[in-house]
Structure 1
Amino acid sequence: MSRQHTYETVVTWTGNRGTGTSSYRDYGREHDLSAEGPPVIPGTADPAFRGDPARWNPEQLLVGSLSQCHMLWFLHKCAMAKVVVTAYSDTATGTMAETADGGHFTEVVLRPAVTVAEPEMMETAMELHEAAHKSCFIAASVNFPVRHEPTVRTAD
């Protein structure tokens, strides 16, 4: 049985500086990303494309989505395998290549740093990263490689 989920968001441009898009330099890239329930995310373009570095850009949000999805699946897989995770952080990096007509991501590298409760859980925790990757909805939806460079340690 297949289930279908729908996600609705609203993007509202807030960068009209009084003359709209009268020229490339005359408008701001600021916008708000919202959905029913969570707080608004202030968005912009990458600073390389005249964006505000104090706001989130779509490229960062894509890398963050991949990192979040992997973490959530990994924690689920660990819970099911009786691997007790006590800490998790990921320093993810996405690489994008500019082209004449836009650009595309060439890869994202996730670097999850995981702490488990017992030394005998370390090997299973390492293996579960691959299982989490295979289950991640976001990773399955992109057309570039998502690599993993995990580390696992014990709380001691």
Structure 2
Amino acid sequence: MTATHTYDVAVSWIGDRGTGTSGYRAYDRAHDVDAPGRPTIAGSADPAFRGDPARWNPEQLLVASVSQCHLLWYLHLCSAAGVVVTAYADAAVGTMVETADGGGHFTEVLLRPRVTVSEPGMVAAAVALHAAAHEKCFIANSVNFPVRHAPTVTAGA
């Protein structure tokens, strides 16, 4: 059985300094991202593009989405396989290249999860399940750039 899901998000620009977009430097890139029942995400452009460094930018949110999706599939698959994960932290990094015309694109996202499992006998399976999580990840299956994985898995004391 297949299902279709929709995701409602509202993005509101709040960066009008009084003259709108009358010039490239005349407006802030500040915006709010909202969804029903969720806290507001304070967004902006990357500071390289005149954004506010205190706000999330779309590039960071894309990398975070890839990392979150992988995490959630990975935990599910570990649970189903009897691999007991006791800690998981990812230091994901995305690489984006600007093009001569001012556009750009991501060339890759590298996930670097550090996973702890409860027993040494689970380490090999825990490493292997990253590939299965990648195959299932909705976000990784939706992007047009490679998502690579460099996991570290250790057994807890």
Range class of TM-score, shorter chain? over 0.9
Residue pairs, 1:24-43, within 5 angstroms:
24-43=24-43
1:96 aligned partner = 96
- SS in structure 2 opposite 1:89? strand
Residue pairs, 1:1-156, within 5 angstroms:
1-99=1-99, 100-156=101-157
1:38 deviation in Å? 1.0
- TM-score of the aligned structures, taking structure 2 as reference length: 0.98
What is the letter of the counterpart of residue 151 of structure 1? T
Q: Which structure 2 segments of 5+ residues have no match?
A: none
What is the letter of the counterpart of residue 28 of structure 1? D
1:37 deviation in Å? 1.1
Q: How many corresponding residue pairs?
A: 156
1:64 deviation in Å? 0.1
- SS in structure 2 opposite 1:140? coil
What is the letter of the counterpart of residue 29 of structure 1? R
**CA-atom RMSD in angstroms:** 0.5
Structure 1: how far apart are the matches of 2:80 and 2:37?
A: 29
What is the letter of the counterpart of residue 124 of structure 2? E
Structure 2: how far apart are the matches of 1:94 and 1:45?
A: 16
- TM-score of the aligned structures, taking structure 1 as reference length: 0.99
Deviations along 1:48-79, whole A, 9 cap, x unmatched?
A: 00000000000000000000000000000000
